[in-house]
A = this chain, B = another copy of it.
């Protein structure tokens, strides 16, 4: 199905799309996805790689991603226990557009910064 044209989404779909996008919009999901895109990671490896995330938010983020079918969670019941997270096929396919967006953001970092300073400069002082 071609989404780029002809499909004027009915409002219900529109809201559902927004919900999906809000997932990638929350604070940590994108970081987690990008890390997992390099391969499977353990919980603590993710926690270490992402500086400044609380374990609460990491578990919540991973739960949501798992619920959406984007990451898989495999428990190895040893002592101490070991849990590995990995992108599913769908998760890997999501990584592509996300990477494109990340690349765009990176390329326009300074342009955006300049625009902000310009905007703030003519109002604040």
Contact surface of A with B, Cβ cutoff 8 Å: 1, 3-4, 7, 9, 11, 13-14, 16-18, 20-22, 24-27, 30-31, 51, 66-69, 90, 93-94, 96-109, 111-116, 118-120
Contact = CB atoms under 8 A, between A and B. Distances in A.
Contact of A26 (B3, B14, B25, B90): B25
A69 B118 CA distance: 9
Contact of A112 (B20, B109, B112): B20
A56 to B, nearest CB: 18
Contacts of A17: 102, 105-106, 109
A92 to B, nearest CB: 12
Contact of A100 (B7, B25, B97): B97
